[in-house]
Amino acid sequence: MYDLTALREEFPVLEEVIYLDNAATTQTPVRSVEAICDFFYDYAGNYGRGTHRLARETTARCEESREDLADFLGAYPEQIIWTGNTTGAINLISQGFSWKKGDEVLCTALEHHSNLLPWMALKRQGVKVSIIPQKGGYVDPDSVSDMITSKTRVVAVTQMSNVTGTIQPVDEIADITHDADAVIVVDGAQSLGHIPVDISKMDYLAIAGHKGLLGPQGVGALYAEEPQTLSESQYGGGTVTSVSFSDVVLRPPPARFEPGTPNIPGIIGMGPAIRLVDALGAEEIADHEEALGDTLFDALEEIGQIEIFSPRGSPVVSFGAPGIHPDLLATRLDEMAAVCVRSGMHCAEPYSRTFCDLGTVRASVACYTTSEEVLILADTLRELFDSWDPDSEPEYVPEPDRWEKSRCP
Amino acid sequence: MYDLTALREEFPVLEEVIYLDNAATTQTPVRSVEAICDFFYDYAGNYGRGTHRLARETTARCEESREDLADFLGAYPEQIIWTGNTTGAINLISQGFSWKKGDEVLCTALEHHSNLLPWMALKRQGVKVSIIPQKGGYVDPDSVSDMITSKTRVVAVTQMSNVTGTIQPVDEIADITHDADAVIVVDGAQSLGHIPVDISKMDYLAIAGHKGLLGPQGVGALYAEEPQTLSESQYGGGTVTSVSFSDVVLRPPPARFEPGTPNIPGIIGMGPAIRLVDALGAEEIADHEEALGDTLFDALEEIGQIEIFSPRGSPVVSFGAPGIHPDLLATRLDEMAAVCVRSGMHCAEPYSRTFCDLGTVRASVACYTTSEEVLILADTLRELFDSWDPDSEPEYVPEPDRWEKSRCP
């Protein structure tokens, strides 16, 4: 096990709050923030766009981060396409195929909206999108076998649910997918950096920079085993070798898929973060987070009054307290003990609704979380329930969408 | 005129190099970098996705930046859509229309690839894309009148050329466009923060965070007068009010156009940068940059041996030295005096090729540039020419594309 005390010094905010919203975003280590500052103060130039020292240094550092990610995955750098987020990576795939009417896509009932809506949008092109059922947070490979057809081109599956942390049998699903001559798209937003991830059977892996990899928000990536088989769906500077008004020659992948100035500081910040995660070790992190999940599960179970939706040992623990709105519960935890948890649908509404029509409260740990922290969550919940008087609580009304009243013409 | 010495303290790298590649990216002020550090160290959460203190603070700061940009433009915040870069903003428009065969788009012969390729890609859908000619770096509104038809739906034009800094008559072009019931898309990547920009006649303005606005790389924005008339073309978390496997209810703009976790640190860094530019004043910046352009033009003219492609007073000065490859010239300027300029096609190949088949050397100033700096460029060029011996120079061979040799299967 790594040195947790030393690790936590990389994340100063952990002294201020009990941060258990790591499935939304992890914290970023000081070493990454310092790399970002070095960029801004010492050598900021644009990426791949100049011969001068700043542009060269900037480009070299960005490519170092790409190599770090490739090494971490066991891939080639040219198989790594930088995107703005996981969502961007999945849209890049869903829009990078030539679809024809009658093509089929299989999605699971567990997916985050970002691995669901890009596929559902293909219905307009006559693509049939079918939902593989889940049971207890897991997809049964037999269901995939039952549903896959000769028309199936893509099977899209999350590796780890962002609602319950359940890990899917992606290797088995990949075998079934490949037997049907389809490709598998794995949403790795919640898995990478939390558990060991083996890409050897994956055609595509959508990657979040700001979750298990501890990087800054605004960086995602797509691992594509054969990036040259995708078509580009966004167009702009940096993607082409030559342009005339009648003709365009594309650059090889990954460049053709990265139009415009990328999130340079974010990409540069990814490098030290990935190397830190790699040094801790995915196995070690998974063991640590599973132990935390056990501790939290047991503590919540002991309280009673709580319905736990995640299995024991999951690093993402969804739960509910009957009669208390999840948002209100999350708000009170923050007010009482600076415990930061997420509440609601977690951008995975179909799955979250299977637990409660108001969604769940979700506590999610990271490599730097301590068992003391998850026990503070449990203690605060106990304290809250002890003093809970539904009659003294004003009825909870969620805030309206901030954009509800538009002043646009 | 603002206090240039005080301003330059915000940009420490200016003590190390003569930075004249501002049309590729400007430098970012210390106040923005500090705001980014504060985010990472004090309150990093995800945007719009939680009730706890970190998520609330993060969301509030991101929305403050949106308000800063809206105020700067004289727009409503809901008319501002954050994107990854200018390119993303233009793709959002080009893919946000329902095109039908026979629709027409007019583009100018001056455009950056990012305001050209997204339109050219529409040819596959049967859209006719015609190129408005330029003369001396300017588009004549009469040419637009001559070419516009009842089938024209979009006129796409840069406000300031990124090759020669020439400013286009966008107001007149907007009038002609609107008379034909079409919409105008203005590429503001080079204009915003460099000259006063009046959006009152613009339907869309594509915005770069990292150029005249001095923000971090990886942030762009789209100003849309009526964002609700666009369709969304990227799908994912944060864009929807509710989701089932059969139905999706979109959030109002701008949220429906911002899928996934945005570049939170970048957006937070934009706020102080925009407020700094606003405090300096667009008129003041334009006057200062025009004076620098004059100084550089005169100095280059005095050297002789140089062909200047930009008009006098332009803040973006493209030039060439017959017989010397632009990349080699740029490299030597860096080696000799740490002068950072850009060379090549500037992602605007059709226009750049009108000057030279190898592109141009481009020096571009910013609000913080001094007349001493542009004179150092001129002095270094003179020194270079004085010692230039073509026979002693090895033949210049540009580097091959780094992705030329792919190891993908």
Mind listing the pLDDT tens digit for each residue in B236-274?
A: 999 999 999 999 999 999 999 999 999 999 999 999 999
pLDDT of B396 reads: 87
Tell me whether residue B15 is in a domain: no
Could you tell me if residue B7 is inside a domain? no
Share of chain B above pLDDT 90, in %: 94
Which parts of A11-148 are beta strand (E)? 18-19, 80-83, 104-108, 128-132
Residue type, B75: A
Q: How far is CA A371 from the centre of its chain?
A: 23
Q: Give mean pLDDT, residues B108-117.
A: 98
- Using the 3D structure, point to which of A279, A305, A321 is the last residue of a domain: A279
Angle at which helices A264-280 and A30-38 pack, to 10 degrees?
Answer: 150
Q: What CATH code is carried by the domain that includes residue A175?
A: 3.40.640.10
pLDDT in tens, A88-123: 999 999 999 999 999 999 999 999 999 999 999 999
Question: Which range (B328-332, B378-382, B394-398) has the least confidence?
Answer: B394-398
- Banded pLDDT at B394 (limits 50, 70, 90): confident
B169-204 confidence digits (pLDDT tens): 999 999 999 999 999 999 999 999 999 999 999 999
Q: Which residue has the tokens 């054969």?
A: A226
Assess whether pLDDT exceeds 90 at residue A326. Answer: yes
- The reply to whether A84 touches chain B by the CB within 8 Å rule is yes
Q: Which of B37, B340, B347, B367 is catalytic?
A: B347
What does the pLDDT look like over B162-171, one tens digit per residue? 999 999 999 9
Using only C-alpha atoms, chain B has a radius of gyration, in whole angstroms, of: 22
DSSP SS3 for A121? helix
Residue ending a domain, among B250, B279, B308, is B279
B120 touching chain A per CB within 8 A: yes
Cβ <8 Å between B217 and A16: no
Domain enclosing residue B319, as ranges: 281-407
Substitution target from A31, A243, A249 for chain B, most B beta carbons within 10 A: A243
Residues of A whose CB is below 8 A from B339: 52
Report the C-alpha gap between B107 and B148 in whole angstroms: 11
Of A52, A235, A350, the CB nearest to B334: A52
> pLDDT > 90: what percent of chain A?
94
B158 closest CA partner among B134, B132, B188:
B188
Share of chain B above pLDDT 70, in %: 100
Residue A62 has pLDDT above 90, yes or no: yes
* Same domain flag for B70 and B160: yes
Residue B2 lies in a domain: no
Would an 8 Å CB–CB cutoff place B408 in contact with chain A? yes
Q: Is B5 inside any structural domain?
A: no
- B193 lies in some domain: yes
Whether A19 maps to a domain, the answer reads no
The residue in chain A having the minimum alpha-carbon distance to the alpha carbon of residue B45 is: A25
Do A335 and A213 reside in the same domain of the chain? Answer: no
What number is the ipTM of this complex? 0.98
Please give the C-alpha separations between residue A306 and each of A318, A322, A329, in angstroms, as whole numbers. Answer: 10, 7, 12
Would strands B204-208 and B220-224 be described as parallel, antiparallel, or unpaired? antiparallel
Q: Is B409 on the interface with A (CB under 8 A)?
A: yes
For chain A, the average pLDDT equals 97
Q: What is the pLDDT of residues B40-85, one digit of tens each?
A: 999 999 998 679 999 999 999 999 999 999 999 999 999 999 999 9
- Same domain, residue pair A268 and A292: no
Residue B390: per-residue pLDDT: 84
Q: Are residues B330 and B230 in the same domain?
A: no
Structural tokens at position A75: 């891939």
Residue A298 sits in the same domain as residue A255: no
Using the Cβ of A4 and the Cβ atoms of chain B, whether some distance falls under 8 Å is answered with no
Q: Which CATH number characterizes residue A314's domain?
A: 3.90.1150.10
| DSSP H helices in A128-200 | 141-147, 170-179
* Nearest CB to A227 within list B228, B251, B408: B408
Tens-place pLDDT, residues B314-372: 999 999 999 999 999 999 999 999 999 999 999 999 999 999 999 999 999 999 999 99
Q: Confirm or reject contact between A249 and chain B (CB < 8 A).
A: no
* Closest by CA position to A345, among listed B82, B249, B263: B249
The answer to whether the CB atoms of B42 and A13 lie below 8 A apart is: yes
Residue A3 covered by a domain? no
pLDDT at A128 over 90: yes
The predicted pLDDT at position B137 comes to: 98
Tokens of B180: 């034909």
> Both A211 and A92 in a single domain?
yes
**Could you tell me the maximum CA-CA distance found in chain B, to the nearest angstrom?**
73
**pLDDT computed for residue B183 by the predictor:** 98
- In this structure, the answer to whether residues B39 and B145 fall within a common structural domain is yes
Residue in the structure block whose two tokens are 């910040």:
A269
Which of A73, A213, A261, A403 to mutate: most B Cβ within 10 Å?
Answer: A261
Q: Looking at the complex, does the CB of residue B130 fall below 8 Å from at least one CB of chain A? A: no
Total of domains in chain B: 2
The mean pLDDT value of chain B amounts to 97
CA A235 vs. chain centroid, Å, equals 25
Alpha-carbon span B400 to B409, nearest angstrom: 21
Question: Which residue, of B244, B279, B314, is where some domain finishes?
Answer: B279
Query: Which residues 287-326 on chain B approach chain A with CB closer than 8 angstroms?
Result: none
Q: Is A234 on the interface with B (CB under 8 A)?
A: yes
Q: How many Å lie between the alpha carbon of B280 and the closest alpha carbon of chain A? A: 21
Q: Are residues A292 and A170 in the same domain?
A: no
* B362 DSSP β-pair partners: B318, B342
Tens digits of residue pLDDT in B18-45: 999 999 999 999 999 999 999 999 999 9
Q: Which of A251-255, B81-85, B214-218, B396-400 has the lowest mean pLDDT?
A: B396-400
Residue to mutate among B225, B261, B333, B357, with most A CBs inside 10 A, is: B261
The pLDDT tens digits for A237-283 are 999 999 999 999 999 999 999 999 999 999 999 999 999 999 999 99
pLDDT greater than 90 at residue A397: no
Whether B111 shows a pLDDT value over 80: the answer reads yes
pLDDT tens-digit map of A362-378: 999 999 999 999 999 99
Residue A50 has pLDDT above 90, yes or no: no
The set of residues, in sequence order, having a beta carbon less than 8 Å from that of A110 and lying 6+ positions away, is A134, A137, A139, A157, A158, A161, A163, A166, A168, A348, A351
Contact A265, B219 (CB under 8 A): no
Given CB atoms, is B79 within the 8 Å cutoff of chain A? yes
CB contact under 8 A, A235 and B24: no
For residues B311 and B333, the answer to whether their CB atoms sit within 8 Å is: no
Residue of A37, A107, A347, A408 marked catalytic: A347
| Contact criterion met (CB < 8 Å) for B217 and A265 | yes
Q: Which pLDDT belongs to residue A340?
A: 98
CB-based contact (8 Å) between B51 and chain A? yes
Helical axes B30-38 vs B264-280, angle rounded to 10°: 150
Encoded amino acid at B288, one letter = H
B134 interfaces chain A, CB cutoff of 8 Å: no
Domain co-membership, B223 together with B338: no
Computed on alpha carbons and rounded to an integer, the radius of gyration of chain A in Å comes to: 22
Query: Do B100 and B75 sit in the same domain of this protein?
Result: yes
Q: Please answer yes or no on whether B261 and A25 come within 8 Å at the CB atom.
A: yes
Q: Residue B360 domain-assigned?
A: yes
Contact criterion met (CB < 8 Å) for A44 and B25: yes
Clarify whether B347 is annotated catalytic.
yes
Contact check, Cβ <8 Å, B117/A210: no
**Contact yes or no for B266 and A262 at CB 8 A:** no
Q: Which two tokens stand for residue B129?
A: 């894309």
What SS3 class is residue B284? helix
Task: Give me the residues of A, 140-169, that contact B with CB < 8 A.
Answer: none
- Indicate the SS3 state at residue B223: strand
Residues A312, A265 share a domain = no
Write the residue in B30, B266, B333 that is nearest to A266 by C-beta: B266
Q: Taking the alpha carbons of B303, B304, B308, B314 in that order, is the dihedral positive or negative?
A: positive
Q: Are residues A275 and A285 in the same domain?
A: no
Q: What is the pLDDT of residues B223-235, one digit of tens each?
A: 999 999 999 999 9
